[in-house]
Structure 1
């Protein structure tokens, strides 16, 4: 390690009031390069990572964002379909310190949201370290600092970042969920995940099986209809379909307001009552509701209710066929759990995403089996020893903004305390 890097390491250690305890060789470790970071290390340059970096920057606290992709918000830029819009009104999705442009519609498009994030990044001079995959992050008991080990995707170079604070901002949509279905290898048509789906143009005139009935599955089916394809949606388990708006109010906004006054189960009952009035009985169309209400289910499992953007009308008209879970695939057909057989030209897996935090964060007590913070909302943003999480809130980008501010405020207290010593 070069002499100036050693000096920076010692400076970092003095910030943490432990300079006399740390041996330089211990700090350097075994990686090719060790980089001390006086502020937090943030893993992930999606909206969550950008939000907390901006909040820290506003307080004069530097940070380093590590991003495995070559761009910010890689999920939005690389793995979303063309027709995607924000499911919630824009004022619930704006990041801290910068609102959406007034000219944007209530539900911004994918391109508009990415443009907003680009502007946000420039506004706060956020410069992530791209093509840098975090392979492990572990708290070193000896020096009482976090060691974050990365591999460069371009040249394979290993770099280790050392910091007092670690912020996990990879969220719940880091990796595609790819189910194992009997006979997948025998199917002669194309099989893709929605992360590779852009438009129904490629499926015109085809019979397409969409596996999954969440927001993505519903919207992909709607998009296929708009491009003269024949979509069928396989539904494995119950799903709550809610209207996107209720008498001009955002369903999300109304729920948030009601939760300040009433228990979750009461709000769920009201939502289901109104949804039955607005949308009718979805059970008649093969969309059975779970026993637990939409908000309770979201809090307990992370499963998001569907906010209808027009797919339900296509289901009622028969343009989208609803089928039970798939039992197996053959060369050109799918067999369903009720014994029905249907022919298909293509299969789209609308099976969602999951967190990958368990693959790199070496802190077993922090995460549960679903790879989410073990502590429930609203306390999942903070853990011990300078570990934080942002982007795991069941309230989406609205919750992300709240947690980003909390994290920045908490780190600021430590930062100022060290500065005054």
Structure 2
């Protein structure tokens, strides 16, 4: 049995940012990643996924993206960047290592691994993201539906849906991007509870992320953002909004129920559907903390700005709106990592 100053669960963008911040704070991190690669969930995202932020705003401290800084990197570029960054850190990173539980022992923790090993840690940072916990809303009649229901977490490309009738549920970036992609090969309707909000990708010749940084909007606390937007706006160069307004990508109010052959729209119309694709978001994936007493009944972490309110030496990284609009993004997680690791380092030195 060993004792590590800080164990970080997850080697995606949040875990790697945490490892860098831990070392900068004088801590020796051990990063545990369930997947086979030090890239978190990125290798499992859909094939065409493209960042909504340009390369110049999406790099890591000390390792910017190579090439045109104004391009929008695709999934495989991000995976490669994460693996390069992981290799450059000099931190111990164990892949194919699943954390099955965390138990409080004195001031620290026992971290149980699926293979039976136990690692003692003075502090733990949960950076396992949310990809492993897709949110699936309950809709009446789903058990009778004879078609296919899947979450966007299981979607890879449009090829398998050519010529089929598809309803995509959701009003966020991924929902609109995937629906637009599918509309080129299938008959698609976008189902949302409210009209899609769009935010121009470029203003005054600069990408919106330039203005987010210049105007400090990236740093706004979640409560302020909630007053500005009723949801997360879709970043758009104009193609998505045009597709919806022209009818190329029809949008309807969220259907009220399933039936055996399809969906029932709010006006009572029944429409045959082959596939319902849920782009309905995710929830934090923290099953290993379930018995620690650190979570709410619904599995959400009890925290303030990424620091546990139940365990002084427990932290979180990569939670949506953890401290700001950009908390769970490539461009923003490093700020949160410095804050959380700095606080944990101070607590460990008391």
Provide the TM-score with structure 2 as the length reference: 0.85
In 2, the alpha carbon distance for the partners of 1:385 and 1:89 equals 37
In 1, the alpha carbon distance for the partners of 2:217 and 2:190 equals 36
Which one of the candidate residues 60, 70, 88 is aligned to 1:95? 60
In 1, the alpha carbon distance for the partners of 2:39 and 2:140 equals 34
Unaligned runs of 5+ in 1: 1-34, 152-156, 269-290, 298-302
3-state DSSP class of the match of 2:94?
coil
Q: What displacement does 1:159 show?
A: 2.0
Q: Residues 91-122 of structure 1: CA distance to partner in whole angstroms, max 9, x if unpaired?
A: 33222332211346531111111111111111
**1:405 matched to 2:338:** yes
In 2, the alpha carbon distance for the partners of 1:210 and 1:170 equals 27
- Residue 233 of structure 2 is matched in structure 1 by 305
Are the aligned partners of 2:4 and 2:119 in contact in 1 as well (CA < 8 Å)?
Answer: no
In 2, the alpha carbon distance for the partners of 1:108 and 1:172 equals 21
- Residue 145 of structure 1 is matched in structure 2 by 108
3-state DSSP class of the match of 1:224?
helix
3-state DSSP class of the match of 1:41?
strand
Alpha carbons of structure 1 residues 382 and 90: separation in structure 2 relative to 1, 3 Å: farther
Alpha carbons of structure 1 residues 262 and 160: separation in structure 2 relative to 1, 3 Å: closer
Are the aligned partners of 2:34 and 2:99 in contact in 1 as well (CA < 8 Å)?
Answer: yes
Alpha carbons of structure 1 residues 145 and 354: separation in structure 2 relative to 1, 3 Å: same
Aligned residues: 341
Q: What displacement does 1:50 show?
A: 0.9
Alpha carbons of structure 1 residues 104 and 92: separation in structure 2 relative to 1, 3 Å: closer
**1:53 matched to 2:19:** yes
Alpha carbons of structure 1 residues 59 and 110: separation in structure 2 relative to 1, 3 Å: same
Q: What displacement does 1:193 show?
A: 1.4
- Residue 332 of structure 1 is matched in structure 2 by 261
3-state DSSP class of the match of 2:41?
helix
> CA-atom RMSD, angstroms?
3.0
In 2, the alpha carbon distance for the partners of 1:293 and 1:53 equals 33
In 2, the alpha carbon distance for the partners of 1:387 and 1:371 equals 14
In 2, the alpha carbon distance for the partners of 1:241 and 1:176 equals 24
- Residue 293 of structure 1 is matched in structure 2 by 228
In 1, the alpha carbon distance for the partners of 2:268 and 2:292 equals 45
Which one of the candidate residues 176, 181, 191 is aligned to 1:234? 191
Unaligned runs of 5+ in 2: none
Alpha carbons of structure 1 residues 132 and 261: separation in structure 2 relative to 1, 3 Å: closer
Q: What displacement does 1:134 show?
A: 2.2
In 2, the alpha carbon distance for the partners of 1:364 and 1:252 equals 38
- Residue 66 of structure 1 is matched in structure 2 by 32
3-state DSSP class of the match of 1:347?
strand
In 1, the alpha carbon distance for the partners of 2:159 and 2:283 equals 28
- Residue 47 of structure 2 is matched in structure 1 by 82
- Residue 16 of structure 1 is matched in structure 2 by none
Which one of the candidate residues 206, 210, 225 is aligned to 2:183? 225
Which one of the candidate residues 293, 302, 306 is aligned to 1:380? 306
**1:171 matched to 2:129:** yes
Alpha carbons of structure 1 residues 132 and 369: separation in structure 2 relative to 1, 3 Å: same
Q: Residues 295-323 of structure 1: CA distance to partner in whole angstroms, max 9, x if unpaired?
A: xx5xxxxx532212522211111111111
